[in-house]
């Protein structure tokens, strides 16, 4: 029925109506925080390209994990950052029983019960060249690398990981890991597959600073996906589902919402989306320049990922978002500001009250506050 009988604005006229008919919500249950673990003790060093995120030694990881659990975050995703001297062509540190991730898993499971520990299963952090496995004539050898990937996944399971997440985009990696886990007694350990992982430059902050494993030569386009191919992404997801993946993933997220939507509608599987380092860093950098409101845009990004079909949001903003959601006990559909404001790095936000008047509410955390209106 056309206008004037139909007036879609009737259900937008105040916050109560908008909450009543909201289609997409975010809760703290959706959030997974990536964490970077380094050797040593007493280390908590903020990453310049990913403000609010840190390199953590195992003892500091335990403290961070307790805080995350208390905020209501249900899962963390662990990445190892070994010393350069411990890297070698066979990526031994990836599957060593005393490797940095294995130590971290044991420490968190012993000291922070109730928090799900997911481990990234890849070899790039542990090779001197930064590629995801064994190189032969500068080409990633699929079968030789699969052997090491399986050893890595098993070592994480034996350390106590709740779920493993293979990231190398090797053909057959899910089948190989599922068979190895089952034959070793880990029948109930789930696999979250990096199913549609594109060869994106949006990973640069992650590799250059996060895992400190930038490539010494070449690129990863022989195994990660071409950025323009969504049909191929569906084939990758279909293969992972057939091979035994319990959760599938699209990575990156914001530039690939069409792929997220297709993945959810075509497979109806639990779907994780990785809001990657470059996406987080772009929003942060623009906010520092006063070009946009960090909080409002970050929440908008997360809600758009969820709207497109994401069930699980892997994001470097997880802790900040959880602090706000926990303090307000609201979903993000309630929390997203309707009048944004920005002044420098500090941020504060104005929210519409039920009567349509503006009330102010500051986000929790040093990076989520401000005062003047746009």
User: Which residues are known catalytic residues?
Assistant: 197, 251
Helices (H), the chain: 15-20, 58-71, 92-95, 100-111, 142-159, 173-183, 204-205, 230-243, 257-267, 277-288, 294-308, 318-328, 332-335
Alpha carbon of 279 to those of 237, 240, 275, 286: distances in Å?
Answer: 23, 26, 6, 11
Alpha carbon of 372 to those of 187, 232, 284, 320: distances in Å?
Answer: 55, 46, 18, 21
Q: β-pairing, 135-136 with 139-140?
A: antiparallel
Q: β-pairing, 116-121 with 75-80?
A: parallel
Give the DSSP letter of residue 155.
H
Q: Compute the distance between CA of residue 56 and CA of residue 260 in angstroms, rounded to an integer.
A: 31
Residue 204 falls in which region: left (phi positive, over 0), alpha (psi -120 to 50) or beta: alpha
């Amino acid at each position: 029925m056309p206008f004037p009988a139909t007036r879609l604005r009737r259900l937008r006229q105040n916050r109560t109506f908008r909450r009543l008919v909201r289609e997409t919500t975010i809760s703290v249950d959706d959030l997974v925080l990536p964490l970077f673990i380094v050797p040593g003790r007493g280390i908590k060093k903020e990453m310049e390209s990913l403000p609010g995120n840190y390199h953590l030694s195992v003892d500091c990881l335990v403290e961070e994990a307790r805080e995350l659990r208390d905020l209501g975050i249900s899962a963390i995703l662990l990445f190892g950052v070994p010393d350069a001297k411990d890297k070698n062509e066979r990526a031994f540190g990836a599957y060593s029983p005393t490797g940095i991730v294995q130590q971290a898993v044991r420490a968190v499971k012993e000291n922070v019960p109730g928090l799900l520990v997911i481990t990234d299963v890849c070899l790039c952090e542990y090779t001197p060249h930064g590629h995801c496995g064994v190189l032969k004539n500068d080409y990633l050898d699929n079968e030789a690398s699969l052997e090491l990937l399986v050893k890595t996944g098993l070592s994480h399971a034996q350390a106590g990981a709740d779920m493993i997440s293979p990231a190398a985009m090797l053909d057959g990696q899910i089948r190989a890991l599922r068979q190895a886990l089952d034959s070793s007694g880990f029948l109930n350990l789930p696999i979250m597959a990096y199913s549609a992982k594109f060869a994106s430059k949006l990973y640069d902050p992650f590799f250059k600073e996060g895992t400190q494993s930038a490539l010494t030569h070449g690129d990863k386009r022989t195994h990660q996906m071409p950025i323009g191919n969504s049909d191929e992404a569906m084939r990758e997801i279909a293969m992972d589902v057939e091979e035994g993946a319990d959760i599938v993933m699209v990575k990156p997220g914001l530039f690939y919402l069409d792929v997220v939507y297709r993945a959810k509608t075509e497979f109806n599987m639990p779907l994780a989306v990785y809001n990657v380092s470059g996406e987080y860093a772009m929003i942060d950098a623009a906010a520092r320049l006063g070009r946009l409101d960090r909080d409002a845009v970050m929440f908008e990004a997360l809600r758009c990922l969820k709207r497109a079909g994401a069930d699980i949001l892997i994001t470097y903003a997880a802790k900040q978002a959880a602090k706000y959601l926990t303090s307000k006990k609201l979903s993000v559909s309630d929390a997203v500001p309707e009048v944004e404001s920005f002044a420098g790095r500090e941020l504060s936000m104005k929210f519409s009250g039920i009567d349509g008047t503006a009330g102010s509410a500051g986000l929790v955390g040093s990076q989520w506050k401000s005062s003047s209106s746009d």
